[in-house]
């Protein structure tokens, strides 16, 4: 059992990093007719209401520039399946997958919600949790600026997670796949 735990400790991120792209490839094959409306997520930014977080001497503040690589697969005109990885607020890697649904469509602006599963060693439910995987549901506004699109979301402070001490406003920059071809 100890060897399994050590293996998971060392390779969990790699396993998820391999499985997420494999899942994306599978979904692309299943839903290939929506490929022109898919999006490549290339960068994220975040703004934290409190900057009192101190991890160590190197990471003395929240990370607010979040390198991101993600993919949004359009399932319908109002929904996407999403997956990716980004450098999170605590300077660690976070893997995500889930769905975005936009019931409000106002031409260049869509209003909806994202229901995601996150995995990051930086976000712990308690100090004994080695493989934190947890759900989040956040409001999302998608702004279509033509060559690029933006997702704007809000994550409230969650008191039950040890490292989450701030409300967060997030912005993702994404490129429609039709602009890459």
pLDDT at 32 > cutoff 60 = no
CB 83 within 8 A of CB 68: no
* Paired tokens of 55: 């991890």
Query: For the chain, what is the domain count?
Result: 1
CATH of the domain at 127: 2.40.160
Q: Which domain holds residue 94?
A: 2-179
Across 78-101, b (16+ Cβ under 10 Å) vs e yields: eebbbbbbbbbbbbbbbbbbbebe
Cα separation, 149 vs 126, in Å, equals 36
Mean pLDDT across 134-140: 88
pLDDT in tens, 44-57: 888 877 655 555 54
- Taking alpha carbons only, the member of 72, 136, 166 closest to residue 110 is 72
Give percent above pLDDT 70 in the chain.
Answer: 64
- pLDDT (0 to 100) of residue 142: 96
**pTM of the shown model:** 0.73
> 35 in helix, strand or coil?
helix
90-99, 100-109, 149-158, 161-170 — which one is most confidently predicted on average? 100-109
pLDDT in tens, 34-86: 445 789 998 888 887 765 555 554 445 777 788 899 999 888 888 999 999 88
**Residue indicated by tokens 């493989």:** 131
């Amino acid at each position: 059992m100890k060897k399994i735990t050590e293996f998971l400790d060392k390779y969990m991120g790699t396993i998820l990093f391999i499985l997420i792209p494999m899942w994306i490839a599978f979904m692309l094959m299943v839903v290939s007719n929506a490929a022109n409306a898919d999006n490549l997520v290339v960068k994220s930014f975040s703004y934290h209401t409190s900057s009192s977080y101190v991890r160590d001497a190197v990471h003395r503040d929240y990370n607010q520039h979040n390198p991101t690589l993600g993919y949004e697969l359009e399932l319908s005109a109002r929904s996407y399946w999403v997956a990716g990885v980004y450098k999170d607020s605590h300077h660690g890697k976070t893997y995500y997958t889930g769905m975005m649904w936009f019931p409000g469509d106002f031409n260049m602006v869509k209003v909806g919600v994202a229901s995601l599963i996150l995995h990051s060693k930086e976000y712990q439910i308690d100090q004994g949790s080695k493989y934190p995987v947890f759900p989040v549901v956040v409001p999302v506004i998608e702004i279509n600026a033509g060559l690029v699109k933006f997702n704007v979301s809000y994550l409230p402070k969650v008191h039950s997670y040890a490292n989450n001490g701030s409300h967060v406003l997030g912005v993702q920059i994404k490129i429609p796949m039709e602009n890459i071809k």
